[in-house]
Amino acid sequence: MSPLFLPSPVAVGERFVTQLQNGELLTDASASVYRIAAGFLLATVMAVPIGILIGTSTRIEAALEPLIDFVRYMPVVAFVPLTILWAGIDDGQKFLIIWMGTFFQQVLLIADAVRQTPRSLIDLGETLGLGNGQILTRIVLRSSAPRIWDALRITLGWAWTWLVVAELVAASSGLGYRITLGQRYFQTDTIITYVLILGVLGLVTDQFMRAWGRRMFRYERTSR
């Protein structure tokens, strides 16, 4: 088979070393990590309070959930041309795509996590004379925290996908941009190298989130 279609592991290894030495890999990776971090944080900061409100108030749920569910089913990819029109091709557009791809999913997952608080724990709070605000902070949030953390971990994985989609279409830096360049010059070894790096980065962040979660929610540890 022609190495153009599937480069040998040696060629991929060599490409990895070259990219590492000329500094491009680090620049690309840091540009992408920055975009993920900013876009994902923006989505999370907005989704956590809104998800909690939807999960705890039936009135807010009735008002917002159908809307969010509707937007959630719109394909984010189809918004790429529009976001370029709105936000250009700089970091802002990448944040926007990551935000659109994660925020709506996060809200629904967090609302669901909050709703799973056992009724008996809320009854307990009431019999101990706690007010609604105290029940929310002392019981509901603490009880749903592991599920909220899981929702964030899963959506962070999706954020990586949306980032690469955005960078493939229009960018002047980032891991996805380098893949597009590789395509343009038939550098399939570059493409494979970067796809593998994306896989590793995704795996590392996921493992990190898992380990952190296990530490925070040690009390839950069963057979997981």
Which residues here bind other proteins, judged by CB under 8 A? 118, 120-121, 123-124, 126-129, 138-139, 142-143, 145, 217, 219-222
**To the nearest whole angstrom, how small is the minimum distance from the Cβ of residue 207 to other proteins?**
23
DSSP letters, the chain, are --TTTS--HHHHHHHHHHHHHTSHHHHHHHHHHHHHHHHHHHHHHHHHHHHHHHHH-HHHHHHHHHHHHHHHTS-GGGGHHHHHHHHTTSHHHHHHHHHHHHHHHHHHHHHHHHHTS-HHHHHHHHHTT--HHHHIIIIIHHHHHHHHHHHHHHHHHHHHHHHHHHHHHS-SSSHHHHHHHHHHTT-HHHHHHHHHHHHHHHHHHHHHHHHHHHHHTGGG-S--
Query: Is the Cβ of residue 90 or residue 220 nearer to other proteins in the bound state?
Result: 220
**54 vs 148, which CB is nearer to other proteins?**
148
Output 90 or 123, the one with its CB closest to other proteins.
123
Q: How far is the CB of 138 from other proteins (least distance, A)?
A: 8
Q: Which is nearer to other proteins, 23 or 129 (CB)?
A: 129
* CB 152 to other proteins: min, Å: 18
Count CA atoms within 13 Å of residue 175 on its CB side: 27
Min separation Cβ 50 and other proteins, Å: 24
Q: Which is nearer to other proteins, 58 or 183 (by Cβ)?
A: 58
